[in-house]
Amino acid sequence: MALDNDFFRPWLQRKWCWDNGFFVVIKPVERGSYRTKVTINLDIQKNIQHGKEEYTQNSTKLEHKINELYEYMFRTFR
């Protein structure tokens, strides 16, 4: 695997977001077991937008959504 720009792009996007006050926050819907339901909140420079969709904790669908949101914030607010 070559270490090119495509390999580091997701990390560079997240780093830019973190340095500029953009965060994706995972909040559990209920207290409970290992694979509980969670919602995603966006912390955009101290303004919090609450998500409505529920995801299973530690799922690949949640991971893809987090990556998608960081990419969206990077492209929108950069």
C-alpha span between 5 and 28 (Å, rounded) = 34
At 39, list the tokens: 């919602």
Q: Give the DSSP letter of residue 59.
A: -
Over the stretch 3-46, which tens digit does the pLDDT of each residue have? 567 778 889 999 999 999 999 999 999 887 777 899 999 999 99
pLDDT for 7 equals 77
Long-range own/partner contacts, residues 6-11 (CB < 8 A, 24 or more apart): 10/67, 10/70, 10/71
- pTM for this predicted structure: 0.86
For residue 1, pLDDT over 60 is answered with no
* Assigned token pair, 57: 């904790």
Q: Note whether 64 and 4 are within 8 A (CB).
A: no
Structure tokens at 16: 């830019």
